[in-house]
């Protein structure tokens, strides 16, 4: 009697994930190439060559990335920490006022917040960081609180019944279960910071917004503006792709 064995078919999950990981970088590489070919086809004058040469673009791009990265790290540390504290029983009375204050930071238009900081504080890198932190604080705070509050209370009580301390329950049970929601908030804040960073050029922080501002002032919309806005969009999409990969990697197994 012959027994037939069937080899399990490999599911499409691995291929689909690989395609999802590679599709965006490939698209962005083609976008960069298209932008390069477009500018290369133009007969640039002296003003345009000074505005969009390799040294200027690299410097503005580095400023943009540094500003977005520093502001995101600071807001993650602050917002996640505050979100954890506000979900503890002893902080119930101050939860609503603090969330209301966080709402103010996002309710004020970003350019208005930058203008206020420019008036009360000299322009530059750190005032821009403060503005971006205030503007993106709410998204991480809210997601941290929601993520921790959605953890099943029976799971927490069972862990406490097994002898775990409150601190152990927080870091071994609550935080891992809340990680997917917290990561979604961090991803949102990161994209907010990348986009809003272009406005910090008005406070002397540089960034790719300087290219956009110069293009509008000098009437170079078909060259300098295309480079500035195109690179900003490409950077935002690339950062969003990196954040999506980080979500997959950092998400606890089984969630």
pLDDT in tens, 53-101: 999 999 999 999 999 999 999 999 999 999 999 999 888 889 889 988 8
Mean pLDDT for the chain? 87
Distance CA 61, CA 238 (A): 13
pTM for the whole structure = 0.85
Beta strands in 5-50 (DSSP E): none
CATH tag for 61-250 (out of 3.30.420.40, 3.40.1160.10, 1.10.1040.10, 1.10.3720.10): 1.10.3720.10
Nearest to 77 by CA among 152, 150, 153, 129: 129
Distance CA 93, CA 169 (A): 23
pLDDT in tens, 187-236: 999 999 999 999 999 888 889 999 999 999 888 888 999 999 999 999 99
Question: Which residues touch 211 (CB under 8 Å, ≥6 apart)?
Answer: 51, 52, 56, 57, 60, 224, 225, 227, 228, 231
Question: Which residues touch 73 (CB under 8 Å, ≥6 apart)?
Answer: none
* Per-domain boundaries in the chain: 61-250
Place of tokens 């509008």: 216
């Amino acid at each position: 009697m012959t027994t037939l064995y069937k080899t399990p078919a490999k599911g499409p999950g691995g291929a689909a994930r690989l395609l999802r990981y590679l599709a965006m970088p490939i698209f962005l590489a083609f976008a960069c190439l298209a932008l390069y070919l477009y500018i290369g086809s133009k007969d640039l004058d002296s003003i345009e060559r000074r505005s969009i040469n390799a040294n200027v673009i690299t410097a503005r791009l580095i400023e943009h990335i540094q500003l977005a990265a520093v502001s995101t790290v600071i807001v993650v540390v602050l917002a996640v920490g505050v979100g954890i504290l506000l979900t503890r029983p002893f902080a119930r009375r101050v939860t609503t006022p603090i969330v209301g204050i966080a709402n103010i930071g996002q309710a004020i238009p970003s350019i208005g917040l930058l203008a206020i900081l420019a008036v009360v504080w000299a322009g530059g890198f750190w005032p821009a960081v403060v503005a971006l932190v205030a503007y993106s604080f709410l998204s991480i705070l809210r997601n941290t609180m929601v993520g921790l509050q959605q953890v099943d209370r029976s799971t927490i009580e069972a862990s406490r019944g097994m002898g775990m301390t409150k601190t152990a329950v927080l870091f071994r049970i609550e935080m891992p279960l809340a990680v997917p929601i917290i990561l979604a908030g961090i991803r949102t804040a990161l994209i907010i910071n990348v986009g809003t960073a272009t406005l910090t050029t008005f406070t002397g922080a540089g960034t790719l917004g300087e290219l956009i501002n110069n293009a509008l002032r000098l009437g170079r919309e078909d060259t300098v503006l295309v480079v500035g806005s195109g690179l900003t969009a490409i950077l935002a999409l690339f950062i969003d792709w990196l954040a999506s990969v980080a979500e997959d990697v950092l998400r606890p197994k089984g969630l």
